[in-house]
Structure 1
Amino acid sequence: MRRHAPLALALLVLVAAWFGPLPARAETSFAAHMILHMGVVALAAPLLAFGLARSNLLPTGASAGRFVLPAALLEFLLIWGWHAPALHDAARQSLALFALEQASFLLAGLFLWTAALGSLGSQRTGARAAGAAGLLLTSMHMTLLGALLLLAPRPLYRCGTLCSPLATLTPLEDQQLGGTLMLAVGGAAYLAGGIALLAGVLNTRPAEARP
């Protein structure tokens, strides 16, 4: 049962995120939308990948390592693309686009985390290093996007002025809270994963150097 605990926890996170009050609140609050986003890519995706790894359901070795950087590029394009003002506003006002956004976040995050964790089974140092690099690069661009949202001098999204933000926050403060969440949760989760994988690379002698 313990082996499957991460999978069960990931499913609980997704159920709470998608079938709780957050989707309705996300229509009127950028910060609520960001909570959803972080729940999917920074909690559910790594938990699913870790659960698959513990259940021996992940492809491992050099073949997995080859997919890490393409997966990181895909997640970069999706995260920045969906946070472009036009697409983000559309997703907050269209159920179909919202569902597409959330599904793409989950699949891209799962693709990256499974490739990164799968690379640990490789005997090649380069493949394992690619796993760490993919997570660290993702942490960097999430941190940059979070900082841009936090430091922007005005609301970037149309719903910031048309919709009611969380509690008594102004639209700009609501956006700043969303940026802070991306920095504190998204950037930190991928940074922690990348550092853990990098530590494994540095502490393991390459197979070809062993007697």
Structure 2
Amino acid sequence: MAAVDASWTFEPGAAALLATMSVAYGTRWRAVRASPAGARGAPAGRACAFAGAMLVAVAALFSPVDRLADQVFAMHMLQHVLLLDVFPILLMVSLTKVLLRPVTRRMQRLEEAAGPLAHPALAVVLYVAVMWVWHIPALYDAALEHSGIHVFEHVCMISVGTLYWWHLLSPIRGRISIGPFGPVVYMLVTKLLVGMLGIAITFAPDPLYAFYEHAPRVWGLSASDDQATAGAVMAIEQSIVMGIALAYLFVKALAESDREDEREERYGTGAA
């Protein structure tokens, strides 16, 4: 059994990007706090969510998770779900309409210029496609063997994950509405299709990826056990995220319904 390498890694490009995002968010958050909008425009909880997003990115890209991903398939899968779901979710939660105000019009113009490409359905297709395509054995092994391809794989996952969760959690109302039941369908279709991939990997009769099949064994995991664990990580994570997101959307819908009832009651009282 091989010794486990659990050292930290460092990628200058990723570090520079995270540092730039942190400075930009921190500067804008402090400016909003000092403005009349104050804590309502930039709640402390949103700053905590942003800090959480940065910590998740550091964990996925620099912590021992990154080094272990080259040795254990399950750790590589954990890295992927952190980049595809957890990081974008926390990033979206950290935003408010006031924080985004300087770039709102630009983003709306970009959405108008994108036309059909800005439709939420495309985000679903891209999310599912990125997960299925990058888990084709030839591509997955190539990403593990070539650092440039591996970086591109991570860029695809972060970009698509951010686009996907933007349509659900963005504080800015998009030009294209997905309706009252749209978010539920949006979530169910995506998570079920990706969850099926996780199940397929879990119960595959033979090792799918030559890189891990021939890698030195660590933690006493056989190639088959490692692969089954990785598939389970994907399938379970998709189920958990779907459940939490659906519960959040349900609570949000109830809150919006209550606000609508209050407005109607106030309007009716005024009219009488």
Please tell me whether residue 16 in structure 1 is matched to residue 68 in structure 2.
no
Query: In 2, distance between residues paired with 1:28 and 1:123?
Result: 45
| Aligned mates of 2:222, 2:228 — CA distance in 1 | 10
Corresponding residue of 2:228: 176
2:68 aligned with 1:25, yes or no? yes
Q: Which moved more, 1:158-167 or 1:190-199?
A: 190-199
Aligned partner letter, 2:87 = A
Say whether 1:154 aligns with 2:225.
Answer: no
Percentage of matched positions with identical amino acids = 25
Q: Among 178, 186, 189, which residue is 2:241 paired with?
A: 189
Any conservation in 1 of the 2:53–2:91 contact (CA below 8 Å)?
Answer: yes
Aligned twin of 2:142: 90
Contact 1:3/1:54 (8 A) holds in 2: no
Q: TM-score, normalised by structure 1?
A: 0.84
Partner of 1:131: 183
Q: Which TM-score applies when normalising by structure 2?
A: 0.66
2:84 is equivalent to residue 44 of structure 1: no
Flag structure 2 segments of 5+ consecutive residues without an equivalent. Answer: 1-43, 113-117
**What is the RMSD of the two structures over their aligned residues, measured on CA atoms?**
3.0
Check whether the contact 2:201–2:228 (CA below 8 A) recurs between aligned residues. yes
Larger Rg: 2
The partner residue of 2:77 within 6, 11, 34 is 34
Q: Which has the higher contact order (CA 8 A, sep 6+)?
A: 1
Long gaps (5+) in structure 1: none
| CA–CA distance in structure 1, aligned partners of residues 70 and 193 of structure 2 | 25
Q: CA deviation at 1:95?
A: 0.8
| Structure 2 Cα separation of the partners of residues 27 and 170 of structure 1 | 15
Distance 1:122 1:197, change over 3 A: farther
